[in-house]
Amino acid sequence: METGVNSKIVDVTQVSKEVLDKQKLRKQNFEYWGPTPREARKAAVAKKKGLTDKRMPIEQAVNMYVKDGINLGIGGFVNTRVPTAILWNIVKKGAKDLTLSLQSSSICCEWLAGMMIVNPDHVSIKRVELAWWGYEVIGIAPLLRYLAGNQMIEIDDYTNYGMSVRFKAGAMGIPFIPVRDHGGSDMELVNRGAMIQCPFSGDNTYLVPACHPDVGIIHVPMCDMYGNARIFGALCTCPEIAQAAAHTIMSTETIIDNMAIRRYPNLTEIPYPVVDAVCEQQFGSWPGAVYGMYWFDMEHFLYFRSMCDEFRKTGNKDKLKAYYDEYFFGCDTWDDFIAKIVPHKKLIELRKRDGQQPIIIS
Amino acid sequence: MVTLADVNPFEMIAFTGSRVLEDNTIVFVGTGLPIIAAMHAQMTHAPNVNLIFEAGSLASILEQGMPLSVGDTRAFRKAVFAKGLCAVFELTQRGYADYAFIGGAQIDMYGNVCSTYEGGDYLKPRVRFPGSGGAGAMAANCEKTIAIMALEKRRFVKKVDFITSIGFGDGSPDYRLKAGVMGSGPYRVITNQALFGFDEKTRRMMLLEYLPGKSPEAIQELVDFELLISPDVREMAIPTEHDLFLLQKKCDTEGFFLKRKVVEQ
């Protein structure tokens, strides 16, 4: 959408006219990078709404829902409760021309990017709508830097609130949502949102489009076999992503009884109808952290990141290729992968490092 | 007696960050030095400073030690409220976050900050950074923005390559109003060698304090635009032995940020 309304960023911006014209065209020819709100509605309506047992292995869920060209919504936040087990299965299966949607993420994006570098005929990222792609304390993401610097992916930049609330708009079934950020920054000019004059207050107000992933991938500490999920610690944007997505694959550390869910229904953060697959998977967020369960495995983040950084600097893919060959294609399941890559003692230590954050299981 | 030689640059930043926080406020913190600054403030002059971590917590008790990131499970320990990103950014948008504590790669005289890329152009960046993350939203809607930067000419620039986090734009009085943001904007810029504020009339960056032994002229040398100098310009306070003890033994005990064991961007 191009409204003709802008803040004074137009007088200040240092972005070249050529780029601004391109981005303006992208606004004018706006299209949702995934299901439209009406298509997402249709997907919801088409689902059978009974309480049915949705348990299945991750591999089966990924085969059912992950196709070339989809918008993949990635749950968690940076290194917290990231859906690595599901992502790992997606890398193994392969998926091309992906659109990624996320607020902030680290290894999930880098794993996909690394596979794209090793074999673009197996995995490729076409574009990303995001706020942040990096590792926080561990460092910037080398492969984002590589892909963006070489113009290998299209990027749509928002703030963490912007992306979170885009999923929220999707979850609410509305096509866009007004926000009080992005305006006056260069994101106003380059992303796919639009400035309007608010019909009520008269204020310049920024609008961001709803985001409906084709497939949302979420990891939770516990849910029942129908998909009613509890989350402790940071909810991140998981409830919104699950509800916005046309289909949601949810991995869970543990499956709890439906009567436990019914005892404290206020604790349910994600309701069953929005979930399509429930995949029980311990350590399903490793090397990420799950509140109440285990803490980050810093060592692995550092290990994988340094391998990626070496590739960025030298252009040599051999180590990366060997990593995928051994730890992705050399393992049948996530359990095999975990057994191969993390010593059991380390897993025990990660559980201890969580510090017994209080959670309610039954 | 602590002398300047005993204090490393990161300790100086964290200590100064702590000093600028008032008690009975809510601080929306970014990863690293902002967390340390806020923890130090809680242990000293501002026990009722409460933190927002953007993954979704309010007023946690950091008894497990410093969270390594704003999504760290430790950042949710004994919080009074634990939800997700939408919830805390909406509290902020509504007006309940007094300070934003952000970082970035470049800053200009009006406090606009770039953390998206450096060099090249948006579609062909020389160095692409992770992106806005929470910073753009914090700078827009927390009431006051505090930026932490390294004091270098390549960072204190005439024009930032890309405005990721809004400051005062071009300095015009209605820049932020026209932008539709709610916070009052840049408040302090903290570096290891100087503390800056902003002139009320011109909204330009103003030197408030400089490292003992330096001079306003020496600070100007490290900045690519013309600084305003406060009429009350003075030397920065340096941490006491107790402050250093708190920073090293109670905040960043493993030296992740103060000793830069892991380099963050």
pLDDT for A56 beyond 80:
yes
Per-residue model confidence as pLDDT tens digits over A229-253: 999 999 999 999 999 999 999 999 9
Which of B55, B134, B169 is opposite residue A159, by nearest beta carbon?
B134
What are the start-end ranges of the E strands in B1-156?
A: 26-29, 50-53, 57-58, 81-82, 99-103, 106-107, 113-114, 117-121, 124-128, 144-148
- Per-residue pLDDT, A139: 86
Which value, to the nearest 10 degrees, does the dihedral of the CA atoms of residues B60, B65, B68, B72 take? -40
Which of B73, B130, B181 is opposite residue A140, by nearest beta carbon?
B130
Residues 274-293 of chain A whose Cβ lies under 8 A from any Cβ of chain B: 289-292
Dump the DSSP string for A134-182: B-GGG-B-HHHHHHHHTT-SEEEE--HHHHHHHHHHHHHT-SEEEESSS
Q: Do A134 and B84 touch (CB under 8 A)?
A: no
Residues 15-74 of chain B whose Cβ lies under 8 A from any Cβ of chain A: 31-32, 53-57, 64, 68-74
Of all residues in chain B, the one with the smallest CA distance to A141 is B130
What are the start-end ranges of the E strands in chain B?
A: 26-29, 50-53, 57-58, 81-82, 99-103, 106-107, 113-114, 117-121, 124-128, 144-148, 185-190, 194-198, 205-210, 228-235
Put simply, whether A354 touches B (Cβ < 8 Å) is yes
Residues 183-242 of chain B whose Cβ lies under 8 A from any Cβ of chain A: none
Per-residue model confidence as pLDDT tens digits over B2-22: 898 899 999 999 999 999 999
- How many CB contacts within 8 angstroms connect chain A with chain B? 255
Q: How far is A117 from chain B (nearest CA, A)?
A: 17
Rounded distance, CA B189 to CA B191, Å? 7
Q: Do B178 and A7 touch (CB under 8 A)?
A: yes
**Percentage of residues in chain A with pLDDT exceeding 70?**
100
Average pLDDT, chain A: 97
Of all residues in chain B, the one with the smallest CA distance to A239 is B84
Put simply, whether B124 touches A (Cβ < 8 Å) is yes
Q: Do B55 and A140 touch (CB under 8 A)?
A: no
- Per-residue pLDDT, A304: 97
Per-residue model confidence as pLDDT tens digits over B64-100: 999 998 999 999 999 999 999 999 999 999 999 999 9
Which of B76, B116, B170 is opposite residue A8, by nearest beta carbon?
B170
Q: How far is B247 from chain A (nearest CA, A)?
A: 18
Q: In angstroms, what CA-CA distances link A287 with A78, A217, A282? A: 11, 16, 12
Rounded distance, CA B137 to CA A208, Å? 13
Q: Do A137 and B31 touch (CB under 8 A)?
A: yes
Single-letter amino acid code for the residue at A293? M
ipTM score above 0.95: yes
CA angle centred on A139, ends B33 and A237, rounded to 5°: 80
CATH number of A31-175+210-353: 3.40.1080.10
- Per-residue pLDDT, A242: 98
Contact between residue B150 and residue B192 where contact means Cβ atoms under 8 Å apart: yes
Q: Do A15 and B122 touch (CB under 8 A)?
A: yes
Put simply, whether B128 touches A (Cβ < 8 Å) is yes
Residues 19-78 of chain A whose Cβ lies under 8 A from any Cβ of chain B: 19, 22-23, 77-78
Q: How far is B120 from chain A (nearest CA, A)?
A: 9
Rounded distance, CA A32 to CA A40, Å? 11
Put simply, whether B86 touches A (Cβ < 8 Å) is yes
pLDDT for B222 beyond 60:
yes
The pLDDT of A352-359, averaged and rounded, is: 95
The pLDDT of B170-187, averaged and rounded, is: 98
Per-residue model confidence as pLDDT tens digits over A263-283: 999 999 999 999 999 999 999
Per-residue model confidence as pLDDT tens digits over B124-151: 999 999 999 999 999 999 999 999 998 9
Q: How far is B208 from chain A (nearest CA, A)?
A: 26
Q: How far is B160 from chain A (nearest CA, A)?
A: 7
Task: Kindly give, in sequence order, each residue whose CB lies less than 8 Å from that of residue B232, ignoring residues fewer than 6 positions away.
Answer: B208
Question: Which one of B51, B62, B69 would you mutate to disrupt binding with A, by most A Cβ within 10 Å of its Cβ?
Answer: B69
pLDDT for B263 beyond 70:
no
Q: Do B179 and A203 touch (CB under 8 A)?
A: no
The pLDDT of B45-65, averaged and rounded, is: 97
Q: Do A159 and B132 touch (CB under 8 A)?
A: yes
Confidence band for A298, pLDDT divided at 50, 70 and 90: very high
Q: How far is A161 from chain B (nearest CA, A)?
A: 6
Per-residue model confidence as pLDDT tens digits over A11-29: 999 999 999 999 999 999 9
Q: Do B179 and A139 touch (CB under 8 A)?
A: no
Catalogue all structural domains in chain B, each as residue range(s) with its CATH number: 4-251 (3.40.1080.10)
Rounded distance, CA A106 to CA A88, Å? 14
pLDDT for B260 beyond 80:
no
Q: Do B141 and A180 touch (CB under 8 A)?
A: yes
Which of B83, B140, B169 is opposite residue A181, by nearest beta carbon?
B140
- Per-residue pLDDT, A137: 84
Which of B132, B141, B177 is opposite residue A157, by nearest beta carbon?
B132
Which of A132, A151, A186 is opposite residue B163, by nearest beta carbon?
A186
pLDDT for B265 beyond 50:
no
- Per-residue pLDDT, A138: 86
Q: Do A16 and B121 touch (CB under 8 A)?
A: yes
Determine phi and psi for A9, rounding to 5 degrees.
-55, -30
Which of A130, A164, A182 is opposite residue B86, by nearest beta carbon?
A164
Question: Active-site residue numbers of B?
Answer: 54
Give B141's contacts in chain A (Cβ within 8 Å). Answer: 180-181
pLDDT for B42 beyond 80:
yes
Q: Do A12 and B170 touch (CB under 8 A)?
A: yes
- Per-residue pLDDT, A9: 98
- Per-residue pLDDT, B130: 94
Put simply, whether B172 touches A (Cβ < 8 Å) is yes
- Per-residue pLDDT, B264: 36
Determine phi and psi for A342, rounding to 5 degrees.
-120, 125
The pLDDT of A192-211, averaged and rounded, is: 98
Q: Do A180 and B116 touch (CB under 8 A)?
A: no
- Per-residue pLDDT, B187: 98
